[in-house]
Amino acid sequence: MDRVKLLAFLGITIFVHGPLSPFLPTAYEATLFYYARLYPGWLLALIGTAGATLSEAVNYRVIDWVAALPALAATKQRRAVRWSVDAFLKAPFWTTAFVIFSPLPDSAVRVLAPLGRYPMWKFLGATAVGRLPRFLLIAGLGWLVRFPPSLLLAGTVGVSLLIAGRVGVRRALDWLRRQRDPQRHATPGAAS
């Protein structure tokens, strides 16, 4: 039974750190908090690092493939993109390791590495260097502070809905502004 739970943990790690990761920003931390009740932090950190690194290999290939599409090829020539890639390539390993370790969104390094032709194996090494201590810290906190599973689930779902709903909220606000503007610009006595 323990192996099944650990395989499930590995599967969750791969899924959450895959291409859907921007939509599931806190899902993995909640999972790690929960599993820290059941297993040693070092074991979870090792399994998590292996799974997340595997996912980053897939992400690297997908981003590399998408960036090569003719419709997006011109994007790589934009000034801001070139500047970002050049800045990333000044210290790609430590930039990646720092961003992956920190709470900063890792989407930038995930995109800049393939765009800058930074070797995938070096990118994956930097990812592992950043992930292992991060996962150890999170698992340690999960072991010290026993968060109720309902709170972990509610937080994960809430943040995911917030991120997914940003577009819907933005559209709703734009609609409200358009509805309000005609009233603001109407002349007195023009319509009764």
- Establish if 191 belongs to a structural domain: no
pTM: 0.74
- Establish if 189 belongs to a structural domain: no
Q: Alpha carbon of 162 to those of 14, 103, 106, 117, 158: distances in Å? A: 22, 18, 19, 34, 6
Q: Which two structure tokens, joined as six digits, stand for 38? A: 């059941």
User: Which residue segment(s) compose the domain that 100 sits in?
Assistant: 2-178
- Establish if 141 belongs to a structural domain: yes
What is the tally of structural domains in the chain? 1
Residue 146 DSSP one-character state: -
Average pLDDT, the chain: 82
What is the spatial distance between Cα 58 and Cα 69, in angstroms, rounded to a whole number?
A: 17
Give per-10-residue mean pLDDT for the chain (192 aa): 85 82 74 88 94 93 87 79 90 95 87 92 96 93 77 65 61 67 54 48
- Establish if 183 belongs to a structural domain: no
**pLDDT tens column, 75-128:** 777 888 889 889 999 999 999 999 999 988 888 899 999 999 999 999 999 999
